[in-house]
Amino acid sequence: MAKILFLDDDPLTLKLMEKAVSILNHGALLSSSVDEALLMIQDEHPDLIIVDLGLEEMSGLSFIRKLQRDPAIPRVPVVIVSAGQSDYDEEQAHSVGAVQYLRKPLGLDQLMNVINTWTYTAGPL
């Protein structure tokens, strides 16, 4: 069972992701704030982080940069999710270190594939 951290400022999205991950027999860690997510990463050691591109506090891209600058934060694969359709956003996500970029809405099969790809086959980052 993998632990997936979801960082999104929309409570409904977090609840939907929690339910979807439960259906897939994995654990969900939910955070609506960057500071809370950073603590969860250190305390809970998630196997995968899925973060919304358009957070209120900072962009998902800035969140990835923040993770990379802090040596106390363990390296975890990060997937960016966005409701936007911009190819530029996708390029930016990859350029800052996101392992994958997904467009909302996410389907259950798509979520399952992302979890399987980045939690079972990913080596050290």
pLDDT at position 30 over 90: yes
pLDDT at position 121 over 80: no
Q: Which pLDDT score is estimated for 5?
A: 98
The full set of domain ranges for the chain reads 3-120
User: pLDDT tens for residues 39-95?
Assistant: 999 999 999 999 999 999 999 999 999 999 998 888 999 999 998 888 999 999 999
Name the helix (H) or strand (E) containing 28.
Answer: strand 27-31
Q: Which pLDDT score is estimated for 125?
A: 43
Strand order across the 100-103 sheet: 27-31, 3-7, 48-52, 78-82, 100-103
Mean predicted lDDT score pLDDT of the chain: 92
For the segment 90-102, the average pLDDT, to the nearest whole number, is 96
Q: Which pLDDT score is estimated for 40?
A: 96
Looking at the domain 3-120, which fold is it? Answer: Rossmann fold (3.40.50)
Q: pTM, whole model, 2 decimals?
A: 0.92
For the segment 26-47, the average pLDDT, to the nearest whole number, is 96
